[in-house]
Structure 1
């Protein structure tokens, strides 16, 4: 068995749809890694660009309600997120011959979920190891954030979906989240130049350590990049981060 990479879909899709959306990247990763796609827990309407291409591919699922600071905080503190962290820990605890988890790829909302999972694992491991500097969560070497949104949709002048009356609460929660510390694992941030949520993707970069992060910009909107050269570049970074695994 090969090392594993976890793939987390965006809001309003599901693991099967994301398997098709990520097929170009997946084809390049599969010779080196086993790919694990997980479904989000909560049904919701289809996400941007899902219809009509994936009509009839229900259920459409989301990780959380991030329409405001209060419901998003409830997710981070709730049972669904704890269950996800437990599932990821299970992937990392597999026997060596079965291939443990070494990377996370998240799209849109799945990017901030992946970031928070790895940050949580790193924090837990630091406690277990007595605060060892540079310790990364359970062997996760790299996080790939594609067109990511940022915790609490904060840090930007005007969030795409934020109601004006909720901006202050979002910003306060965003700052508190950022203050929890940066992810130590290496990171790759794919940002589409025409993405309506581009400003949030730029802010998500700040949640990762400076020295281990890379930003790749591509021509496109809120979708997985189709350009072969971009996908090959991402895979090269992943392979370099996982060298020796």
Structure 2
């Protein structure tokens, strides 16, 4: 009997963190969803110092990484890895990472999850997919939803986004992400104002679901909160299948 294709969620960590740390942070959520989804964690390409909240708990989990290219003083450039004309921008790089981690051709990426800085990658992938469809470009991915956790900032821009805008100057700026998304906000998180602005500026309100928890900058660890977030993820997936 043929195996059932894996329903996989690509997970992108925050700045000054890495995939291993995000896996620890998401372990309880992953456990609740283990019968339906496989969480796959990626490491960003650029090394940097530890981000907020990483030390001392994760002191032994280095090296710490960023999705944004730093300058010589370790200042992260706004779109440092966000777009270039060689096809090696941050979003194409993320797609390449996902291709490399396919176990078989039948494995299916159905969603993205981003934490903190990683929300800019997760949202950038959703927006890039949307632009590709608008341009009639074929693509070997069909992401159905996104989980945007404790984030802020604009989606990382891709080449397809620049092409779409250049071909149709009447397109709104920014273009809103239409895919179903879940936005996890911490009421004690210093990123809360940025997260609210991110949700309002870059996501279609009718397809964006807000979930607020009384946390600082962290993934939920209380069981009922984890189960509620898991239910939202399942609902988002089912809404597109």
TM-score normalised to structure 1 length: 0.78
Matches within 5 A, 1:132-171: 138-151=141-154
Instruction: Identify the residue that residue 73 of structure 1 maps to in structure 2.
Output: 79
CA distance in 1, matches of 2:177, 2:104: 23
Instruction: Identify the residue that residue 228 of structure 1 maps to in structure 2.
Output: 223
Q: Please tell me whether residue 40 in structure 1 is matched to residue 35 in structure 2.
A: no
Instruction: Identify the residue that residue 27 of structure 2 maps to in structure 1.
Output: 23
Q: Please say which of residues 14-23 and 85-94 is displaced more in the overlay.
A: 85-94
Instruction: Pick closer, same or farther for the CA change 1:58–1:94 going to 2, 3 Å.
Output: same
User: Residue 129 of structure 1: CA displacement?
Assistant: 6.2
Matches within 5 A, 1:39-188: 39-65=43-69, 71-78=77-84, 79-81=88-90, 82-88=92-98, 95=105, 98-128=106-136, 138-151=141-154, 179-188=173-182
CA distance in 2, matches of 1:62, 1:54: 16
Give CA-to-partner distance per residue, 1:47-79, whole Å, 9 cap, x none: 111111111211101111589999222321143
Give 1 or 2: higher helix fraction. 1
Instruction: Identify the residue that residue 205 of structure 1 maps to in structure 2.
Output: 199
User: Residue 30 of structure 1: CA displacement?
Assistant: 1.5
Task: Report the secondary structure of 1:75's partner residue.
Answer: coil
TM-score normalised to structure 2 length: 0.79
Number of residue equivalences: 213
User: Residue 17 of structure 1: CA displacement?
Assistant: 1.0
Structure 1 unaligned residues grouped into runs of 5+? 131-135, 153-177
Structure 2 unaligned residues grouped into runs of 5+? 156-171
